[in-house]
Amino acid sequence: MLGTCLGKLKLENPLILASGIRGNTAALLIRAAKEGAGAATSKSCSLTPRTGHANPTMAGTEGVFINAIGLSNPGVQEEILEIRRAVKEAKIPIIASIYAKEVEEFAEVARLISEAKPHMLEVDISCPNVHREGAMFSSYKEDAAKVCAAVAEATKIPFSAKLSPDVPNIGQIAHVCVTSGAGCITAINTAGGMYIDARARKAVLSNWFGGISGPAIKPIALKAVHSIRKAVGEEVPIIGTGGVSNGIDAAEMLMAGATAVGIGTAIAARKEDAPFEAIASELKAFMKEEGYTKISQLKLEE
């Protein structure tokens, strides 16, 4: 009932551990599998190690979380070892997330991480790289296209381009990513935001700005996924990510046009020992109640 496919990649259920949440090591990716995830995405890695931002890097209230971790990671050479172990032991598809500061670096990281034989790559072109006037690679369709073309040239492993909602036309960006070699789209990354402590007269995060996640961004994610589906057609898989906390949220994301559903903040917020399994059960219960027999039937009525 819950099976889905990302291109040729088969998932037993559509729930995917999103990048950045419990994906730092092979052990945590394996843990996601044991908790019922259909696939798991690693935390983004770069060509060389990165320490990230100084504390405080996270803050939140009910339903709204903000972080500026700074993409800390041990570098691609260490990540190869973690991904290789996860692929061997997790028994679910493993998606290796990568990011870089330059187009050529994206290609090099993709080439190197491919040695670990992940089932898919996720190319994060929506992290806060200082590229053109402080913009993300996904801010301009020309830059997004260059990255995707370079990665497609560097590896034979299928990849998904991860996009930001902070653009005028996310569907247009998704379309050029697909025509430039991306076989899938992940949407959305966190939305940019800021917290201020009025009494201290200071920004709460050391980096001042961060990415908003949690239930508050679900409407933004739903709109983005729907827009992308309209732009790329029915055949391109979409990993809908952002604000999904339960089975009904997952159903809504699938109705918006997603093929699979990325879950991040909710995994830390929910109290079950197997949160993916619990959300999958909620989704299955909804489908049975409404008369659905497979997730491809979850569509909006026009």
On the CB side of 42, how many CA atoms lie within 13 Å of its CA? 38
* Distances from the Cα of 193 to the Cα of 53, 217, 264, angstroms: 16, 11, 18
Tell me what pLDDT residue 128 has: 55
Tell me what pLDDT residue 227 has: 98
Neighbours of 273 (CB within 10 A): 10
Kindly report the CA angle at 109 between 105 and 93, in degrees rounded to 5?
Answer: 145
Tell me what pLDDT residue 134 has: 66
From the list 219, 229, 284, the residue with the least C-alpha distance to 252 is: 219
Tell me what pLDDT residue 63 has: 80
Q: What is the pTM of this model?
A: 0.96
84/34 Cα distance (integer angstroms):
18
* Distances from the Cα of 121 to the Cα of 6, 95, 227, 294, angstroms: 12, 5, 23, 26
Torsion of CA 7, 117, 31, 241, to 10 degrees: -40
* Distances from the Cα of 165 to the Cα of 15, 69, 187, angstroms: 21, 19, 8
- The token duo for 78 is 């260490």
Q: Which amino acid is at 35?
A: E
Residue whose token pair is 């990540």: 79
Catalytic residue numbers, as ranges: 127
| Each residue's pLDDT expressed in tens, for the chain with a length of 302 residues | 999 999 999 999 999 999 988 778 999 999 999 999 999 999 999 999 988 888 998 898 878 889 888 888 999 999 999 999 999 999 999 999 999 999 999 999 999 999 999 999 999 999 753 344 568 999 999 999 999 999 999 999 999 999 999 999 999 999 999 999 999 999 999 999 999 999 999 999 998 988 999 999 999 999 999 999 999 999 999 999 999 999 999 999 999 999 999 999 998 888 888 999 999 999 999 999 999 999 999 999 87
Tell me what pLDDT residue 131 has: 43
Q: Where do the domains of the chain lie, and which CATH numbers do they carry?
A: 4-297 (3.20.20.70)
Residue 168: exposure state from Cβ atoms within 10 A (0-12, 13-18, ≥19): exposed
- The token duo for 100 is 């870089």
Angle formed by the axes of helices 76-89 and 103-113, nearest 10°: 40
Tell me what pLDDT residue 130 has: 38
22/281 Cα distance (integer angstroms):
21
